[in-house]
Structure formats: structure tokens, C-alpha cells
């Protein structure tokens, strides 16, 4: 008898076809966001859950799951939406999908940098509204990326690909991580022991660290004040890493010249202060949204499930 898998969102066709072949999936063809109670109800009799970051697998939810649930195989690299301690207490294996979305998220990071620096959101709105009148030397002047300093918080998989892409713009790479990387992984990037040491060297700042209690609110008013005047901030990681009020105030004052954002607190109900800022270039959390990457994420999640139900250790176990 095939294991029953509760799938909380609509997945790519190729991933759902593999699910149908190897498992008994409970799919969500309408891609409706389930409530916590609906997740628990639909999990009755299932062997595993395949959720996305949109499902908050809190201690309360995990505590109410049926005893049949053996695994939570996330369709995401981040797993801050899952209470790992609660899962461990129930003996539920938790996995994620690292590596496969590094290129796509790094591409989106470069888009955020360019979009914020070259005022792409403002320009696009002008053209669509028919308000573009003529050319002049002072019209829509932005910031050039080429040759600038890029600071990266978290030089992991995505951070290293972002650094590699940024070198195509002759950017000088600076970074902070918990530990200094080997020289071959640094590839010439300049290490800073603390975030505070890093920030004064950032004409552009890219956030690529994981969300954790230690990084929650990491970019606050005090740290923003350490950036060079007119720096550009981009976040394609998790919203909780940024203090919204502090960043919005810095954008209003011009202390931060522009921001490119793809991850927010309380998605999709983002802080309303961002919406009125012309110097905020906003994307709807699409860092991994390429056809190639979404297929790869699904296959990686299924690889983990295959291992679990074959009695093997899954490659991407996080709890």
C-alpha cells in the first residue's frame, strides 16, 4: 500500500505526476491556503505532509497532528515556519530543499539590486501611466552598480552565487558569516567578524542569512546607521531579518537610497509603509519562481520522502 501524502499547495505538474506514481497524494488543485484546522483535518490517516513556507507548522499544529504522520517534507529551503522542537518531540522527521534554488534566488537578488539602483519600479509606472514626457540629463538618475562594494550577510549557497554574479559587475565583495569560509569558497571576498564591522563597507547590502532567533530584527535602526549614506539594501531571504519601521524611516529620510525586497514580515500583508515609497522596489516573494527551480524543489522533497519510506536517512533532514 502506497504512503498517503498531504500536499498543501498546488505543485508543478511534473512533481504531482511523480507523486501520483509513487504515493497516494491528497492534492490541492485549487491552490487554496488551508487553515490550521484544515491541515489537521486533511492529515487524518496520512503518512506525511508536503507543505510550503505558507503553512505555519506551529507547536500547536504539530501537537494536534495524527499519530500516523512520520514526516514533514518542506517544499522550501527555509524551515522557520516549522517548530522543529515540537516535531522532534513527536518523532516527526523534517526536511527542506536546499541547493536547488540557489541560482534562481541569486538571479532575483541581482534583479532587486538593479531594480532598486536604477529606479526600475518608478520608471515602469511612468511608462504605463503615460507620464513619461521626454529625456533630460536629470531624468530618472539612479545609482550605478559597476565597481561598487557589495556586502553579503550570510555567504552560504545563495550568497556565494550572488557574489559570483556580482563579480560580473566588477563589484568588490565583503561578507559576514558565523565563521570565515575557506579561501576557495571566499573567492577573494573580504571577511568581517561581525555585522557591525561589515556594514560601513556596503554600498549595496544583500541579506542571505537564515531566519532564526539570532537574526530576527538583525537590520535595525542602529545597524542601518552604520551603512554608508545612500546605501542600497536588498532582501531575498526572510522578512523577519529586517526591522520594517527602521528601514522605512531610512528610506523616507534618504539615509538608505533605495531597497529591493522580495521577503516580508507577515506576508502577503506587508507593512503598508512600503507601498507609498517610490524608492522601494517590491517583488512578491518569487526568488525561486522559475519553472526549472520549482520542479527541482519538488523532486528534492520527494527524494527525501522516498528515503524516509525506504528506511534510509533523508539527505536534507533538519529535524
- Residues with catalytic function: 238, 267, 285
Per-residue cell: 233? 539594501
Contact indicator for 48, 6 with CB cutoff of 8 Å: yes
Task: Tell me how far the alpha carbon of residue 122 is from its chain's centroid.
Answer: 24
| Alpha carbon distance 227, 250 (integer Å) | 11
Per-residue cell: 317? 533532514
Per-residue cell: 162? 550572488
3-state DSSP assignment of residue 295: helix
Contact indicator for 200, 227 with CB cutoff of 8 Å: yes
Q: For residue 282, which phi and psi values (nearest 5 degrees)?
A: -110, 130
| Alpha carbon distance 118, 275 (integer Å) | 18
Contact indicator for 209, 218 with CB cutoff of 8 Å: yes
Amino acid at each position: 500500500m502506497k504512503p498517503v501524502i498531504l500536499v498543501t499547495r498546488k505543485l508543478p505538474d511534473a512533481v504531482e505526476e511523480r507523486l501520483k506514481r509513487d504515493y497516494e497524494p491528497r492534492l490541492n488543485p485549487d491552490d487554496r491556503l488551508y487553515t490550521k484546522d484544515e491541515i489537521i483535518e486533511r492529515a487524518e490517516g496520512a503518512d506525511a505532509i508536503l507543505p510550503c513556507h505558507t503553512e505555519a507548522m506551529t507547536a500547536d499544529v504539530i501537537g494536534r497532528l495524527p499519530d500516523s504522520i512520520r514526516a514533514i517534507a518542506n517544499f522550501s529551503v527555509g524551515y522557520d515556519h516549522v517548530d522543529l522542537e515540537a516535531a522532534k518531540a513527536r518523532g516527526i522527521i523534517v526536511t527542506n530543499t536546499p541547493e536547488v534554488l540557489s541560482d534562481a534566488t541569486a538571479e532575483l537578488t541581482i534583479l532587486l539590486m538593479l531594480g532598486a539602483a536604477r529606479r526600475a519600479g518608478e520608471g515602469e509606472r511612468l511608462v504605463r501611466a503615460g507620464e513619461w514626457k521626454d529625456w533630460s540629463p536629470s531624468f530618472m538618475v539612479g545609482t550605478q552598480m559597476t565597481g561598487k562594494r557589495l556586502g553579503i550577510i550570510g555567504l552560504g549557497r545563495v550568497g556565494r552565487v550572488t557574489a559570483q554574479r556580482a563579480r560580473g559587475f566588477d563589484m568588490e565583495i565583503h561578507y559576514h558569516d558565523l565563521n570565515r569560509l575557506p579561501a576557495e569558497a571566499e573567492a577573494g571576498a573580504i571577511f568581517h567578524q561581525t555585522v557591525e564591522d561589515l556594514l560601513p563597507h556596503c554600498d549595496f547590502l544583500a541579506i542571505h542569512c537564515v531566519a532564526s532567533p539570532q537574526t530576527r530584527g538583525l537590520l535595525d535602526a542602529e545597524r542601518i546607521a552604520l551603512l554608508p549614506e545612500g546605501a542600497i539594501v536588498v532582501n531575498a531571504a526572510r522578512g523577519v531579518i529586517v526591522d520594517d519601521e527602521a528601514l522605512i524611516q531610512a528610506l523616507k529620510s534618504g539615509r538608505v537610497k533605495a531597497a529591493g525586497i522580495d521577503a516580508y514580515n507577515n506576508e502577503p500583508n506587508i507593512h503598508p509603509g512600503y507601498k507609498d515609497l517610490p524608492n522601494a522596489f517590491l517583488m512578491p516573494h518569487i526568488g525561486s519562481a522559475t519553472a526549472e527551480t520549482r520542479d527541482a524543489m519538488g523532486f528534492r522533497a520527494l527524494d527525501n520522502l522516498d528515503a524516509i519510506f525506504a528506511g534510509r536517512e533523508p539527505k536534507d533532514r533538519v529535524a
